[in-house]
Amino acid sequence: MNIVAPTPEAIREAADALRRGELVGMPTETVYGLAADACNPTAVRRAFEAKGRPAENPMIVHLASSADLARACGLVPPIAKELAVRFWPGPLTLVLPKGPAIAPEVPAGRETVAVRVPDHSVALALLRESGLMLAAPSANRFGELSPTRADMIEPSVAVHLALVLDGGPCRVGIESTVLDLTVSPPAILRPGGVSRAELEALLGPLGGPDHERRSPGLYPRHYAPRARLRLVKRLGHDQPGLSLGEAAGPHQIAMPLEPEAYAARLYAGLRELDCSGAIDVFVQEPPKTLPWEAVWDRLQRASGLPEVS
Ligand code: TXA
Ligand code: MG
């Protein structure tokens, strides 16, 4: 796999590849993305193919700064600018009216587009060097675990990439929060790196995620390891899996007791269990409190369970 250190030459090479319509593995603070020129329909179609992703599932556009909002979007309401000042660069994605420059394939034919400025020096360097807006879904096969390290990108995805820029392990570890600003009140379509509490402090009570209003990309089974994942109150000694605080047996990973630190370890932990060949993995249920909303969302989808509130 063509994983390279993010030297200035490598970033120039990656930017050239993107301008030619090729795909690049790009680190962000949440998960690794599979970047394509958001204004080039051929490049965007390649990204869908590399992921094996259904064409109706829209992609997020990454911007170098909030100054590019007007390039990507039609109308930019004042609240979007306020949120950008407060949370960008960072793990918050805003759904806004789509501007004409963005290829229609990116939002899968919708009139809206999801945008964010990633908080990662390598992603920002690549955005600036290329001068492009980058559609970048997570760099996993559709439905599988998102990579939080360059070496977690599966070979079946990596073959489609000109190169992967190695930006080290992702700080946040789960995907961005997707906030729909085209509805009133705004609705969280996917919980993620920015918490509901942080957003509600600024915006008041928010809608979603619910069955009517949630990201079109949220399928019941998603973010899933190969092993069957079961949520349990506590792990038995011989059960491989993720325990909270301390491990009760030999094939267990002790996960942090704090939601942000837990999220940062989640996909790498599940991946490690997959690599150990476990067929069933057991995950000790974290607390059912608001700060754990995004972790719960991913665990429920990874286990293929129907949603619980
Ligand atoms: O943290 C992240 O957001 C990562 C990194 C690479 O930035 N990206 C990511 O992309 O998770 P992806 O493609 O795996 O997920 C995009 C999510 C999906 O849930 C999709 O439905 C939603 O964003 N989305 C994108 N465009 C949308 C739109 N126009 N309306 C509603 N939801 C949208
Ligand atoms: Mg994804």
Amino acid at residue number 303: S
Q: Do the annotations mark residue 112 as ligand-binding?
A: yes
pLDDT 10s digits, 26-35:
999 999 999 9
Cα separation, 117 vs 71, whole angstroms? 13
| Separation of CA 140 and ligand 2 centre (Å) | 7
pLDDT at 308 over 50: no
Place of tokens 């998102």: 146
Average pLDDT over residues 179-188: 95
* Gyration radius (Cα) of the chain, Å: 19
State the ligand closest to the CA atom of 178.
Answer: 1
CB of 177 within 6 A of ligand 1: the answer is: no
- The alpha carbon of residue 254 and the mean position of all alpha carbons in its chain are separated, in whole angstroms, by 24
Q: Is the previous residue joined to 240 through a cis bond, with omega within 30 degrees of 0?
A: no
CB of 80 within 6 A of ligand 1: the answer is: no
Local confidence band at 309 (pLDDT 50, 70, 90 cut-offs): very low
pLDDT 10s digits, 246-282:
888 899 999 999 999 999 999 999 999 999 988 999 9
Q: Do the annotations mark residue 138 as ligand-binding?
A: yes
pTM of the full predicted structure? 0.94
Cα separation, 87 vs 33, whole angstroms? 20
| Separation of CA 138 and ligand 2 centre (Å) | 4
Mutate which of 49, 60, 111 for ligand 1 pocket (most atoms within 8 A of beta carbon): 60
Q: Which atom of ligand 1 is nearest to the CA of 112?
A: 29
